[in-house]
Structure 1
Amino acid sequence: MALWVLQLYIFCLSCTPSARASSNAQSQITNIHPFIVDLSAGVPRMRELVQNTRLPKDPEYPYLASSAGIDLDVLKFLRAEWLSKFDWQKEQDEMNRLKHFTSSIEGLTLHFIHERSSDPDAIPLLLNHGWPGSFLEFTPIIKELTQSAKTSTGKRVSFHIVVPSLPGFAFSSAPPANWTLEDTARVQHTLMTEILGYERFATHGTDYGSGPAYTLYANYSQSTRAAHFTFVPFLPLLPEQLAESNITLNGSLEKAEQSNALVWRTTGSAYFSEQATKPNTVGLALYDNPVGQLAWMGEKFISWSDPRQGTGPSLLTHNEILRSVSLFYLTNSFLSSVFTYFQNPTTFTTVYTKAKTDAPMLFSAFQYNVGFWPPALLEKIGNLVFYRNHEFGGHFAGVDNPMALIDDLREIANYWNNTY
Structure 2
Amino acid sequence: MFAGNSTSRRSFVAATALAGVMAAVPGIGRAATAGGGVRPFRIAIADAEIAAMKRRIAETRWADPQPVSDDGQGVRRQTLQPLMSYWAGAYDWRKVEARLNALPMFMTEIDGQDIHFIHVRSRHENALPMILTHGWPGSILEFLDAIAPLTDPTAHGGSADDAFHLVIPSIPGFGFSAKPTVSGWGSDRIGRAWSALMLRLGYDRYVSQGGDCGSVISQRMALQKVPGLLGIHLNMPAVVPADIARTLAAGDPAPLGLSGKERAAFDQLEAFYRDNAAYAAMMNTRPQTIGYSLVDSPVGMAAWMYEKIAQWTYSDGQPERVLGRDAILDDMSLYWLTGTGASAARIYWEDHSNNFNARGVIDLPVAVSVFPGEIFRAPRSWAERCYTNLFYFNEASDGGHFAAWEQPALFAREVRAAFRSLR
TM bucket (normalised to shorter chain) is 0.7 to 0.9
Preserved CA contact (<8 Å) 1:12 1:196: no
Query: Cα gap change, 1:309/1:197 in structure 2, threshold over 3 Å: closer, same or farther?
Result: farther
Preserved CA contact (<8 Å) 1:181 1:211: yes
The equivalent residue for 1:203 is 208
**Aligned with 1:111 (options 116, 128, 151):** 116
The answer to whether the aligner puts 1:373 opposite 2:378 as a matched pair is yes
Question: Which structure 2 residue ranges, 5 or more long, are not aligned?
Answer: 1-15
d(CA) in 2 for partners of 1:183, 1:54? 40
The answer to whether the aligner puts 1:301 opposite 2:309 as a matched pair is yes
**Aligned with 1:165 (options 155, 165, 170):** 170
d(CA) in 2 for partners of 1:198, 1:163? 14
Question: Which structure 1 residue ranges, 5 or more long, are not aligned?
Answer: 20-24
Preserved CA contact (<8 Å) 1:275 1:282: yes
1:11-90 → structure 2 map (5 Å cutoff): 14-15=30-31, 28-29=35-36, 31-41=37-47, 42-56=49-63, 59-63=65-69, 65-90=70-95
The equivalent residue for 1:22 is none
The equivalent residue for 2:349 is 342
Query: Cα gap change, 1:257/1:82 in structure 2, threshold over 3 Å: closer, same or farther?
Result: farther
Query: Cα gap change, 1:367/1:70 in structure 2, threshold over 3 Å: closer, same or farther?
Result: same
Partner SS for 1:139: helix
The answer to whether the aligner puts 1:288 opposite 2:296 as a matched pair is yes
RMSD across aligned positions (CA): 3.0
Preserved CA contact (<8 Å) 2:130 2:207: yes
The equivalent residue for 2:407 is 401
d(CA) in 2 for partners of 1:278, 1:318? 30
The answer to whether the aligner puts 1:249 opposite 2:265 as a matched pair is no
d(CA) in 2 for partners of 1:332, 1:367? 33
The answer to whether the aligner puts 1:213 opposite 2:218 as a matched pair is yes
The answer to whether the aligner puts 1:130 opposite 2:130 as a matched pair is no
**Aligned with 1:317 (options 311, 314, 324):** 324
The equivalent residue for 2:4 is none
1:150 offset after TM fit, Å? 10
Query: Cα gap change, 1:190/1:347 in structure 2, threshold over 3 Å: closer, same or farther?
Result: farther
Partner SS for 2:326: helix
Q: Which amino acid aligns with 2:309?
A: F
The equivalent residue for 1:326 is 333
d(CA) in 1 for partners of 2:158, 2:81? 48
- What TM-score do you get using the length of structure 2 for normalisation? 0.85
What do residues 231-278 of structure 1 show as CA deviations (whole Å, max 9, x unaligned)? 13444747978975955135xxx8766544432122110000001111
Partner SS for 1:324: helix
1:85 offset after TM fit, Å? 2.8
1:152 offset after TM fit, Å? 10
d(CA) in 2 for partners of 1:88, 1:191? 29
Partner SS for 2:43: coil
Q: Which amino acid aligns with 1:295?
A: A
The equivalent residue for 2:12 is none
Preserved CA contact (<8 Å) 1:309 1:316: no
Preserved CA contact (<8 Å) 2:66 2:76: no
Preserved CA contact (<8 Å) 1:151 1:407: no
d(CA) in 2 for partners of 1:309, 1:144? 28
Preserved CA contact (<8 Å) 1:39 1:331: no
The equivalent residue for 1:120 is 125
Query: Cα gap change, 1:87/1:349 in structure 2, threshold over 3 Å: closer, same or farther?
Result: closer
Preserved CA contact (<8 Å) 1:124 1:198: yes
Query: Cα gap change, 1:50/1:378 in structure 2, threshold over 3 Å: closer, same or farther?
Result: same
Partner SS for 2:414: helix
Aligned length in residues: 396
- Which is worse superposed, 222-231 or 46-55? 222-231
d(CA) in 1 for partners of 2:407, 2:316? 11
Preserved CA contact (<8 Å) 1:309 1:317: no
1:154 offset after TM fit, Å? 7.4
The equivalent residue for 2:17 is 4
Query: Cα gap change, 1:8/1:402 in structure 2, threshold over 3 Å: closer, same or farther?
Result: closer
What do residues 182-223 of structure 1 show as CA deviations (whole Å, max 9, x unaligned)? 000111100001x10101101111111112211222222651
Q: Which amino acid aligns with 2:39?
A: H
Preserved CA contact (<8 Å) 2:372 2:396: yes
Q: Which amino acid aligns with 1:144?
A: P
Partner SS for 2:393: strand
1:372 offset after TM fit, Å? 2.7
Preserved CA contact (<8 Å) 2:149 2:409: no
1:392 offset after TM fit, Å? 2.2
d(CA) in 2 for partners of 1:292, 1:270? 16
d(CA) in 2 for partners of 1:386, 1:317? 31
Preserved CA contact (<8 Å) 2:28 2:121: no
The answer to whether the aligner puts 1:355 opposite 2:362 as a matched pair is yes
d(CA) in 2 for partners of 1:399, 1:407? 14
1:122 offset after TM fit, Å? 0.1
The answer to whether the aligner puts 1:189 opposite 2:210 as a matched pair is no
d(CA) in 2 for partners of 1:5, 1:405? 32
Query: Cα gap change, 1:281/1:413 in structure 2, threshold over 3 Å: closer, same or farther?
Result: closer
Preserved CA contact (<8 Å) 2:111 2:193: yes
